[in-house]
Amino acid sequence: MRVTVIDYKAGNLTSVLKALRHLGAEAVVTDGDLTLVEAAERIVLPGVGHFAATERLDATGLTPAIRAAIARGVPFLGICVGMQWLYAGSSEAPLQPGLAHFAEQCTRFSESNEKVPHVGWNSLEVRKGTRLLAGVELGEYVYFTHSYKAPVTADTVAVTHYIEPFAAAVERGNVMGVQFHPEKSGATGLKILRNFLEVR
Amino acid sequence: MITKRIIACLDVHGGRVVKGVQFVDLIDAGDPATQAARHAREGADEIVLLDITATHEGRQTLLDTVRRTARELFVPFAVGGGIRTADDAAQVFEAGADKVSVNSAALADPTLIDAIGRSFGAQAVVVAIDARRDPEAADPVRDAQVFVQGGRKPAGRRVVEWAREAEQRGAGEILLTSMNCDGTRTGFDCELTAAVSEAVNIPVIASGGAGTVEHFVDVFGRGKADAALAASIFHFGVSSARSLKEELAKAGVSVRLPC
């Protein structure tokens, strides 16, 4: 299994690469070599940090290359900011457009007595009809660290509650995203990454 | 529902896990990679590795240790001890840490927090604060002082104010150790932990003083801690994170179970 991991200089890729390789995937990294996207069998877009960092995807020509790969049916997984990028944009960086594969906007958690960022292990309410979360039971825990989130829509395949319900995972066809960090979510996270590597 | 985290802490010296009171009378407590894997398997929500060698010669040993420990670890992994520059942090991340913990170097140059946060994100920066109450002070909580050099030397900063500055500079979490309680097994400093937790909007990890399950219940309740560090309670098979969390769940604390 070959996976192209996109590096857009937003945080550290080591953990994601380690988890993919642990599962037997051959992970290659690109920060702008479009041929690695054009020939990709699967694509993972990790990302921690600020939504504005996704500007680099536009600057390097990765955005249209990824769009074309998705159109060809290549399985795609966005993690954290990588998931948010699949939406139209985020109020974290209003001038920076996302891929708009999903039409909605990401927004910051509402003001409340709870702390923002949302950091720690929280549970998943998995919906029906997801390949990415196959075998993940109601209430399994995964590790989150984020201040912005996507809304719950028809494409949401797992909901998590913190301040308000938000999309913990999204999936439509070959395009998938997780707000949490599967590479840091123990056995549950590895199961989800394995599902992604086995999606056809 | 968000859960309270139980974090297993490994003190490492010269590439081995060690245990001692106040860093003296060190006893060898095993291989860091083996111990970290065991804690993760036994339900720890996160692993912290603190290098107490902190010498220049020890750096390469630490990086090797981090690399070996990270290899088979799929829960969050933080590393502290001797990280003085953004370059030091970059090497530790490269070796497989998800977070770095900075302490005295951040006090000497607070822009270190900004620098690491800019490159790796706020979620990757833990600011560790060694706190000591001044019994003579008018308000021992508000006036609690930050200490450096293993709690020997005052840094000239108030704990709550330093925590707030660390957050503003881009820290993602605060690791608060009570020097008064550390090693005593008489309970966390819940008052001070609550004061820091209320002053910032980022998670606070409580450390120092854990001896019983009740102490953890207390620090998650009255102490408003988001996570707690368990060190000595886990060593030599005394207890596991899983059994601790099972007891916490019975006491009504939300924890990750089964794990």
Q: How far is B45 from chain A (nearest CA, A)?
A: 8
Whole-complex ipTM: 0.94
- To test the contact with chain A by mutation, choose from B98, B100, B255 the residue with the greatest count of A C-beta atoms within 10 A, namely B98
Q: How far is A72 from chain B (nearest CA, A)?
A: 32
Residue A87 corresponds to which tokens in the numbers above? 């939406």
CB contact under 8 Å between B201 and A162, yes or no, is no
If you count DSSP H runs as helices and E runs as strands, how many of each does chain A have, helices first?
Answer: 6, 13
Q: Is B45 a catalytic residue?
A: no
Q: Which residue of A has its CA nearest to B197?
A: A115
Q: Is B226 a catalytic residue?
A: no
**In this predicted model, what pLDDT tens digit does every residue of A146-180 receive, in sequence order?**
999 999 999 999 999 999 999 999 999 999 999 99
Cβ contacts from A onto B, under 8 A: 89
- pLDDT at residue A12 in the model: 81
Chain A residues near residue B94 by CB distance under 8 angstroms:
12, 14
Question: What are the structural domain ranges in chain A?
Answer: 2-198
CB contact under 8 Å between B3 and A184, yes or no, is no
Reply yes or no on whether the pLDDT at B156 is more than 90: yes
Q: How many Å apart are CA B1 and CA A139, to the nearest integer?
A: 9
Determine contact: A117 vs chain B, CB below 8 A.
yes
Query: Which regions of chain A does DSSP assign to beta strands (E)?
Result: 2-6, 26-30, 43-45, 76-79, 89-90, 105-108, 118-123, 125-126, 141-146, 148-149, 156-162, 164-172, 175-178
Determine contact: A82 vs chain B, CB below 8 A.
no
Determine contact: A13 vs chain B, CB below 8 A.
no
Reply yes or no on whether the pLDDT at B237 is more than 70: no
- pLDDT at residue B232 in the model: 66
Reply yes or no on whether the pLDDT at B236 is more than 60: no
pLDDT average, residue stretch B168-197: 95
Q: How far is B152 from chain A (nearest CA, A)?
A: 32
Determine contact: A67 vs chain B, CB below 8 A.
no
Q: Which CATH architecture is the domain A2-198 placed in?
A: 3-Layer(aba) Sandwich (3.40)
How would residue B23 be classed by pLDDT, with cut points 50, 70 and 90?
Answer: low
- pLDDT at residue B20 in the model: 64
Q: How many Å apart are CA B172 and CA A15, to the nearest integer?
A: 18
pLDDT average, residue stretch A49-73: 95
